[in-house]
Amino acid sequence: KAGVTQTPRYLIKTRGQQVTLSCSPISGHRSVSWYQQTPGQGLQFLFEYFSETQRNKGNFPGRFSGRQFSNSRSEMNVSTLELGDSALYLCASSLKGGSGELFFGEGSRLTVL
Amino acid sequence: AQSVTQPDIHITVSEGASLELRCNYSYGATPYLFWYVQSPGQGLQLLLKYFSGDTLVQGIKGFEAEFKRSQSSFNLRKPSVHWSDAAEYFCAVAQAGGTSYGKLTFGQGTILTVHP
């Protein structure tokens, strides 16, 4: 069974640009969550989607957005990039009714110059 | 607001020695508790979880953790560490019985170094 797939794995952007990251969950998983990981702030919850609906949102500015498609694949977008957005962005999927057992992808490493 | 504290940023042990990683949480009710491990360049992998019942839970790779309600702690233990256990370990909490299945609050992590 394939795991959670995130693309791209690495990318470099400049300030002011925007970026879109993609996540394909494990087959059959309908919930997708996104996390930002930085050395200073650690792992922080961005948002969660289930059946194309955002169920929960973390404390991030409106520049961070996401969506989920009918096949459960998800994308997150960051507009007007700032230097502080440099981070590892992790996607995780889980079953509905799941237990909080999240299956994580390897992440997308974003560097903002 | 719920929070998770891992007091030790970095721990070094010798291969074969025992290990205990500390985790304290702050939450109004009994939460769901987890330990995840992250190797360099990798995502997070679930080691074990506690929902209810027996307060000593067994996980993968020989790890176990004990939930102590009176101390708001969920410490991770392993009797004999292997060099391959070197990684970063995260304790996490989720709202028990909540509708958000994907929202976890993580501790800051503990980096484990294993000396041969």
pLDDT at B56: 96
Pick from A45, A90, A100: which is nearest to B32 by CB? A100
DSSP letters for chain A: ----EEE-SEEEE-TT--EEEEEEPPTT--EEEEEEEETTTEEEEEEEEETTEEEEE-S--TTEEEEE-TTS-EEEEE-S--GGG-EEEEEEEE-TT--S--EE---EEEEE-
Contact list in A for residue B36 (CB cut-off 8 A) is 104
Residue A92 at interface with chain B, using a CB cutoff of 8 Å: yes
State the amino acid at position B58 in one-letter form.
Q
Q: Which residue matches tokens 């700032």?
A: A82
A100 and B44 within 8 Å at the Cβ level: the answer is: no
pLDDT at A37: 96
Whether residue A8 has a cis bond before it, omega within 30° of 0? yes
State the amino acid at position B5 in one-letter form.
T
Distance from CA of B103 to the nearest CA of A (A): 6
Closest CA to B116 of B72, B79, B86: B86
Query: What CA–CA distances, in Å, run from A37 to A34, A55, B54, B95?
Result: 10, 21, 32, 21
Which residues is B105 bridged to in the sheet? B93
Residue B35 at interface with chain A, using a CB cutoff of 8 Å: no
Which residues is B113 bridged to in the sheet? B12
Indicate the pairing of strand B32-38 with strand B44-50: antiparallel
- Residue A99: pLDDT band (50, 70, 90) is low
> How far apart, in whole angstroms, are the C-alpha atoms of residue B67 and residue B54?
9
Model confidence at B50: pLDDT above 60:
yes
Q: What letters, b where the CB count within 10 A reaches 16 and e where it falls short, cover A11-23?
A: eebeeeeebbbeb
Pick from A42, A56, A101: which is nearest to B100 by CB? A56
Q: What tens digit of pLDDT does each residue of A25-73 get? A: 999 999 999 999 999 999 999 999 998 999 889 999 999 999 999 999 9
Contact list in A for residue B41 (CB cut-off 8 A) is 106
Pick from A48, A92, A99: which is nearest to B49 by CB? A99
A102 and B45 within 8 Å at the Cβ level: the answer is: no
A100 and B108 within 8 Å at the Cβ level: the answer is: no
C-beta of residue A35 within 8 angstroms of C-beta of residue A55 = no
Distance from CA of A72 to the nearest CA of B (A): 14
Q: What tens digit of pLDDT does each residue of B70-79 get? A: 999 999 999 9
